[in-house]
Amino acid sequence: MQKHLLHSPAGCGSLPLAAGKVVAPPLRAQGPVRRKTAAARSAEQQPGALSSGLLNKQFQPKLRTDRVIPSAATVDTATMVQSQRVYTFGKTKSQGDASMKQLLGGKGANLAEMSRIGLSVPPGLTITTDTCAEFHENGRTLPDGCWEEVLAGLRTVEAEMGCRLGDASAPLLLSVRSGAAVSMPGMMDTVLNLGLNDTCAAGLAKRSGDERFAYDAYRRFLDMYGDVVMGIPHHLFEDQLERLKAERRVSEDTALTAADLKLLVGRYKEVYKSLGKIFPEDPYEQLRLAIYAVFDSWQSERADVYRSVNGITGLKGTAVNVQAMAFGNMGLTSGTGVCFTRNPSTGERKLYGEYLINAQGEDVVAGIRTPEPIETLARTLPGAYQQLIDNCALLEKHYKDMQDIEFTVQEGKLYMLQCRSGKRTGAAAVRIAVELVDEGLVDIDTAVMMVEPGHLDQLLHPQFADEDAYKGDVLGTGLPASPGAAVGQAVFSAEDAEAWKSSGLPVVLVRRETSPEDVKGMYSAEGVLCQLGGMTSHAAVVARGWGKPCITGCPDLQVDEHNKIARINGHEIRQGDFISLNGSTGEIIRGKQPLAPPELAGDLGKFMSWVDARRRLGVLTNADTPEDAEEARKFGAEGIGLCRTEHMFFASEERIATVRRMIVAQTKEARLKALADLLPFQREDFEGILKAMSGLPVTIRLLDPPLHEFLPDGEMTDVCEALARDAGISVDEVYSTIEKLQEVNPMLGFRGCRLGITYPEITEMQVRAMFEAAVRVQQSGGAVQLDVMVPLVGTAAELKNQEQLVRRVAEQVMKEAGVRVPHRVGTMIEVPRAALQAGSIAKTAEFFSFGTNDLTQMTFGYSRDDIGKFLPSYLENGILPYDPFQVLDQEGVGELIKFAVERGRATRPNLKIGICGEQGGEPKTVAFLHEVGLDYVSCSPFRVPIARLAAAQAAVRSAKSKK
Ligand code: PEP
Ligand code: MG
């Protein structure tokens, strides 16, 4: 993965005002990814804000004489008309709106929209996401005319603000923030307080009448700019700050005076010099390089990881938002905050957020000061609070969804800096969707579309079996940042979390705080525990987005990442110790606490009833045991689409021994004897499954895998000897059978219907077991719908052979019992030839079920067991967009499916058609299959609710598109 890092622009050149290409400084050669500071991260989440009471003061133009700042009129507008790359927003006019997310990014589009509907938003401009793509395509060069557009936009910002960039008498300060079409919290770069240099800082001090404020902004800018744009490690600035505080014998930053901060500014500049870097005094140069840095951050490793973990594809790049600063650090009537219009963990309809008085965004997450609950604002600045409440209500009504808002209060006046649809947990998503319908804000179709299949996935994760039972083991309590139960072994770094997880160990990641570099480790963990941070810290936001339990801000916890140990209320948690987290209550619990499966009740029950009323596709399950069948019914399965009978063979030593006897039998009599012994086991399981499904269709597949899979390894001499004794044959005969059954390519070998055709007695036994089980269920008053499925058919003759056998045995059993069992005989379509011959196969088959595991394997020619060896490089090189064994390949395998559906139904119009491959529960696949006209999908029990939702969303979407 290429890492795009900025090299320090040694001796920043003059301002490239002339039209033409503006080339970015060269990339640093391969090197470590620049670690983003908490300051930079939080600033992205909570940008500071604006040019002070300066806002209202009369603008007195006082241009520097050493260069010409072009006005809008002097800019060549011809290029702008052709392809506009910069869109302004502000009080007078916004060029963008909320519908332009792809082009302006979510932040840019919503800033424009908020300005449009009259909220107080500091004016600014957005450089489009297309420009980011052009920038990278052109070797990190801004396209022709773009810089002039930026300058023209800047003029409108200056006009509204009454101050100008680089004008010491009325300096305009800017924030430069990233913002892609899909929110990627904290993953890209931001610069605040841009526009300061020695003269502008002095000018700001004079104009605001607050010298301390001006030099605080200046030292923050030097730090953030150095870190984000010039690649200077943040800790070098932090060290200087700590040194000065020690010299002044103070512990809080706020205790430093204006003179101290001036001194600090000088020391920060020394940091630049000591690394051979020159701070660009020219604000225009600062701006140009900051824009490059934000574009570069689109390709940073952490952004890449976040996109791949979250499956974010198809975006062109990030937009850049250049906006007038609003200042939250202008005293006790100022501050900065983040809030959600409803609780993002539970969905409760109540403002939820944090606020920090006299602060800029970076202070919130840096952990230096703990933010206060949003209600504090109600007490300290009731006017601003009321305005915030009103704005939240307006935004919810306008966007018809819960909003995540960033704001700054500057000297009592509220400024809105961002709004977006808030990330939420699964529980919150469902509750919000249900309540928005009850409140009359959205209709049911819209509500159904608001919950993502991934949200349901979260809700289906286990909870603690008994929350009272562990109370004696609670070690301490932190903030319940993301709900749910997590149990795992403690690890103290993201790298360890990944490594342990990949060796199959469940882990809980324990950190002082998390940063965007930790995302992979967080993803690998069952849950995340952080000593620092609030409910809106990086860990909390990211974990909630994934539905991972997370606890933050635990004052009793001390995490020593270096020595891999945490201490809490006299207890020690060492690497590898099991701990449990209750992300809903914030409890940190000793040991491995038992978990229990979730339930579909309450709001979720109501929501799922809306879902079911909308979908056309049936949702069945793949289940091999009565327990799985019962579980799946609780999740709403409407039958069994695939019961792999061979899985039952491994249920006990006795069963597998009997199966092995059947395989090594040297005569037909011996094989029949073994099969007769196997029959009661199968009958018992089938009876349990049929009962659990009480009359819903149960599709039972005949034996599929190659026989050698059931035999012991030749090296396992004890087992081979026991098998020889058991089967009454010599050990040599066992070994030679094992050898004979070995295949070069077992997946294309002696398996599927090839077994039943060669050894009809195996099919006979299985069919007898199924029908005898069905007869028993019916005789005890139960209902049955039995569908017998023949696997791995490639020709019509194969199916005909097995179908005749099935029907013969079925008739025999029904006749013996004097009972008719409703049944159908059908086949899997999992060999490409079967798809091509669907028309003739449908003459015999009463149903089709697409076995897309094998169909994908044989269509691509990728072994399903070996794809892992090359899939990573295929994904990385863009040869495949995703793993086709997880998401159906619509272009190839999908075409075969469409063809088979058409041909099959041409022969037999009422042919029942479904899918039972792994892709059957994957939302994009479900949507495709809805369009293709399948009757049902079948997936594992836990994915049933997800498939139900995906099916409903597909139905709503296609109904809308037809309107
Ligand atoms: C399939 O091939 O899609 C299928 C469901 O069968 P199996 O995975 O058992 O081969
Ligand atoms: Mg198969």
In the prediction, which pLDDT does 290 show? 97
- Residue 40: pLDDT over 70: no
SS3 state of residue 488: strand
In the prediction, which pLDDT does 653 show? 82
- Please give the distance of CA 268 from its chain centroid, rounded to a whole number: 39
In the prediction, which pLDDT does 29 show? 28
Q: Residues of 240-250 as b/e, b for ≥16 C-beta within 10 angstroms?
A: bbeebbeeeee
| Higher pLDDT, residue 44 or 793 | 793
* Euclidean distance between CA atoms 159 and 943, whole angstroms: 56
Mean of pLDDT values over 136-140? 94
- The annotation status of 854 as a binding-site residue, yes or no, is yes
Closest-CA residue to 740 (of 763, 704, 791, 706): 706
Mean of pLDDT values over 708-713? 81
Residue 913 pairs in a beta bridge with: 848
pLDDT category, 727, cuts 50, 70, 90?
confident
For 240-357, list the strands marked E by DSSP. Answer: 319-324, 335-340, 352-357
In the prediction, which pLDDT does 545 show? 63
- Ligand 1 neighbourhood includes 830 CB (under 6 angstroms): yes
Of 12-21, 489-498, 607-616, minimum mean pLDDT range:
12-21
Nearest-atom number in ligand 1 for the CA of 916 is 5
- The annotation status of 701 as a binding-site residue, yes or no, is yes
pLDDT digits (tens, 9 = 90+) for 767-802: 999 999 999 999 999 999 999 999 999 999 999 999
| Higher pLDDT, residue 236 or 707 | 236
In the prediction, which pLDDT does 82 show? 52
SS3 state of residue 286: helix
Residue 410 pairs in a beta bridge with: 413
Which H or E element spans position 915?
strand 912-915
Residue 194 pairs in a beta bridge with: 174
Surrounding residues of ion ligand 2, Cβ less than 5 A = 830, 851, 854
In the prediction, which pLDDT does 826 show? 98
What distance in angstroms lies between residue 923's CA and the mean position of ligand 1's atoms? 19
- Provide the residue type at 162 as one letter: G
Q: What DSSP assignment string belongs to 827-894?
A: EEE-SHHHHHTHHHHTTT-SEEEE-HHHHHHHHHT--TTTGGGTHHHHHHTTSSSS-TTTS--TTTHH
For the record, the structure tokens of 801 come out as 């052979």
In the prediction, which pLDDT does 536 show? 62
- Ligand 1 neighbourhood includes 852 CB (under 6 angstroms): yes
Mean pLDDT of the chain, nearest integer: 87
pLDDT category, 390, cuts 50, 70, 90?
very high
Q: What DSSP assignment string belongs to 372-430?
A: EETHHHHHH-HHHHHHHHHHHHHHHHHHTS-EEEEEEEETTEEEEEEEEEPP--HHHHH
pLDDT category, 358, cuts 50, 70, 90?
confident
Q: Are 128 and 87 in contact (CB under 8 A)?
A: yes
pLDDT digits (tens, 9 = 90+) for 255-273: 899 999 999 999 999 999 9
What distance in angstroms lies between residue 455's CA and the mean position of ligand 1's atoms? 27
- Ligand 1 neighbourhood includes 704 CB (under 6 angstroms): yes
* Euclidean distance between CA atoms 684 and 375, whole angstroms: 62
pLDDT category, 460, cuts 50, 70, 90?
confident
Closest-CA residue to 325 (of 457, 220, 474): 220
Q: Can you list the alpha helix ranges (DSSP code H) found in 37-186?
A: 38-45, 78-82, 101-116, 129-137, 146-161
- Residue 373: pLDDT over 60: yes
Mean of pLDDT values over 8-35? 29
pLDDT category, 21, cuts 50, 70, 90?
very low
Nearest-CA residue for atom 3 of ligand 1:
851
The residues, ordered by sequence, that sit 6+ positions from 890 with a Cβ below 8 Å of its Cβ are: 928
- Residue 544: pLDDT over 60: yes
pLDDT digits (tens, 9 = 90+) for 948-957: 999 999 999 9
| Higher pLDDT, residue 231 or 93 | 231
| Higher pLDDT, residue 819 or 655 | 819
pLDDT category, 6, cuts 50, 70, 90?
very low
In the prediction, which pLDDT does 535 show? 67
The residues, ordered by sequence, that sit 6+ positions from 76 with a Cβ below 8 Å of its Cβ are: 19, 145, 148
In the prediction, which pLDDT does 677 show? 95
Q: How many CB atoms sit inside 10 A of residue 868's CB?
A: 11
What distance in angstroms lies between residue 635's CA and the mean position of ligand 2's atoms? 25
- Residue 62: pLDDT over 70: no
* Euclidean distance between CA atoms 367 and 530, whole angstroms: 11
- The annotation status of 853 as a binding-site residue, yes or no, is yes
In the prediction, which pLDDT does 740 show? 86
pLDDT digits (tens, 9 = 90+) for 492-531: 999 999 999 988 999 999 999 877 678 789 989 999 999 9
Of 136-140, 476-480, 697-701, minimum mean pLDDT range:
476-480
- The annotation status of 830 as a binding-site residue, yes or no, is yes
- Residue 453: pLDDT over 70: yes
pTM score: 0.76
The listed range with the strongest mean pLDDT (77-81, 300-304, 357-361) is: 300-304
621, 644, 645, 702: residue to mutate for ligand 1 pocket, most atoms within 8 A of CB: 644
In the prediction, which pLDDT does 224 show? 95
* Euclidean distance between CA atoms 404 and 551, whole angstroms: 20
- Ligand 1 neighbourhood includes 854 CB (under 6 angstroms): yes
In the prediction, which pLDDT does 654 show? 87
Residues that are catalytic: 538, 916
List the 124-127 sheet strands across, edge first: 86-89, 124-127, 319-324, 174-179, 190-194
In the prediction, which pLDDT does 134 show? 96
From residue 171, give the alpha-carbon distance in Å to each of 154, 198, 273, 415, 916: 13, 12, 25, 19, 65
- Ligand 1 neighbourhood includes 917 CB (under 6 angstroms): yes
Mean of pLDDT values over 140-157? 96
Nearest-CA residue for atom 6 of ligand 1:
851
From residue 510, give the alpha-carbon distance in Å to each of 245, 553, 573: 30, 12, 10
From residue 394, give the alpha-carbon distance in Å to each of 114, 285, 387, 440, 707: 10, 39, 10, 15, 66
- Ligand 1 neighbourhood includes 644 CB (under 6 angstroms): yes
- Residue 687: pLDDT over 90: yes
Of 43-52, 284-293, 941-950, minimum mean pLDDT range:
43-52
- Residue 541: pLDDT over 50: yes
The residues, ordered by sequence, that sit 6+ positions from 777 with a Cβ below 8 Å of its Cβ are: 687, 690, 691, 783, 784
Closest-CA residue to 868 (of 883, 855, 852, 847): 883
- Residue 63: pLDDT over 80: no
* Euclidean distance between CA atoms 898 and 892, whole angstroms: 10
Mean of pLDDT values over 35-62? 32
In the prediction, which pLDDT does 367 show? 54
- Ligand 1 neighbourhood includes 685 CB (under 6 angstroms): no
| Angle at the Cα of 494 from the Cα atoms of 489 and 496, rounded to 5 degrees | 55
* Euclidean distance between CA atoms 623 and 629, whole angstroms: 6
For the record, the structure tokens of 275 come out as 């690394």
* Euclidean distance between CA atoms 196 and 216, whole angstroms: 11
| Helix-helix angle 283-297:146-161, to 10 degrees | 120
- Residue 22: pLDDT over 50: no
In the prediction, which pLDDT does 2 show? 29
* Euclidean distance between CA atoms 68 and 114, whole angstroms: 33
pLDDT category, 376, cuts 50, 70, 90?
confident
In the prediction, which pLDDT does 459 show? 82
For the record, the structure tokens of 471 come out as 């109370």
* Euclidean distance between CA atoms 62 and 526, whole angstroms: 59
Closest-CA residue to 353 (of 369, 338, 365): 338
- The annotation status of 514 as a binding-site residue, yes or no, is no
| Helix-helix angle 717-727:731-741, to 10 degrees | 110
Length of the chain: 963
Phi then psi for residue 421, to 5 deg, are -65, 125
* Euclidean distance between CA atoms 536 and 531, whole angstroms: 14
Q: How many CA atoms lie within 13 Å of 438's alpha carbon, on the beta-carbon side?
A: 10
Beta pairing, strands 479-482 & 474-477: unpaired
* Euclidean distance between CA atoms 901 and 840, whole angstroms: 12
In the prediction, which pLDDT does 79 show? 41
pLDDT category, 35, cuts 50, 70, 90?
very low
Percent with pLDDT over 70 in the chain: 89
What distance in angstroms lies between residue 885's CA and the mean position of ligand 2's atoms? 12
